[in-house]
Amino acid sequence: MSDQPPPWHDEAHHDAMGTRLNWLRAAVLGANDGIVSTAGLVVGVAGATTDRGTLLTAGLAGLLAGSLSMAAGEYVSVSSQRASEQAALALERRELHDQPQAELAELAGLLQARGLSEEVAREAAEQLTERDALRAHARVELGIDPDALTNPWHAAGASFLAFTVGALLPLLAMVLPSAGLRLPLTVVSVLAALVLTGWGSARLGAAPVGASVLRMVSVGALAMAVTYAAGSLLGAAGV
């Protein structure tokens, strides 16, 4: 038998790492959404009025609406994915019960396709089947870890939290300082935060950092410029 570790040897480790990276990436992007959407909202309102109460009300409304929307969307998405994975596992469980030999041959073929010799693939398939047939087929055939199905409530909570954390920055920067400092402080803090989220998303996704940062900052700056111009026009018109 080869001295090299079998192809599935590090799958659990790689899957765990991939799951953590996906969660981190989702958190960074959720925070970025909170920053940009809330900054656009409060800057737009600031273009129309300097009243602190109005700015706070608008910012809180945007924060709650955005975070709840993100959480609901994530819950629905992950629930659908989880249901699909559970259905695939249920089908695999029935096939293992109804035609175990065919499933064993299928598993051996999948392992052989990954680079094992026919003899080693058959032996590995038998050992994996004896240990936990459903887990073996779920991981090798379906790419699913039966013990690590994503919880939709966890995903929704993480999205809610990430968006809220991101949204708090422009909201606090707009309502805490004096009227003369609100807009410049908000713009500077938002752009600085977008540099960090752009850097973080690029690092987590193994993408070019410069392009990611430029994209984040450009989108954020454009959103604030457009909403401020719209707010100023509406404020001047007395709407």
Say which residues have a Cβ less than 8 Å from residue 81's Cβ, sequence separation at least 6.
Answer: 150
Distance, CA of 61 to CA of 67 (rounded, Å): 10
This prediction's pTM = 0.77
**Which pLDDT score, from 0 to 100, does residue 94 have?**
93
**Which pLDDT score, from 0 to 100, does residue 239 have?**
52
Residue 141, in any domain of the structure: yes
Q: Would the pLDDT of 223 be above 50?
A: yes
The more confident residue out of 18 and 217 is: 217
Residue 180, in any domain of the structure: yes
**Which pLDDT score, from 0 to 100, does residue 155 have?**
85
Residue 205, in any domain of the structure: yes
Report pLDDT digits (tens) over 132-189.
888 888 888 888 888 778 888 888 888 899 999 999 999 999 999 998 899 999 999 9
Residue 48, in any domain of the structure: yes
What is the percent of the chain where pLDDT is above 70? Answer: 89
The more confident residue out of 6 and 24 is: 24
Distance, CA of 79 to CA of 85 (rounded, Å): 10
Distance, CA of 235 to CA of 231 (rounded, Å): 6
Tally the domains of the chain.
1
Residue 121, in any domain of the structure: yes
Residue 17, in any domain of the structure: yes
The more confident residue out of 155 and 43 is: 43
For residues 159 and 26, is the Cβ–Cβ distance under 8 A? yes
**Which pLDDT score, from 0 to 100, does residue 214 have?**
92
Residue 28, in any domain of the structure: yes
Distance, CA of 20 to CA of 150 (rounded, Å): 11
Q: Which domain holds residue 52?
A: 11-236
Residue 192, in any domain of the structure: yes
- 21-25, 126-130, 193-197: range with lowest mean pLDDT: 21-25
Report pLDDT digits (tens) over 182-216.
999 999 999 999 999 888 878 877 778 888 889 98
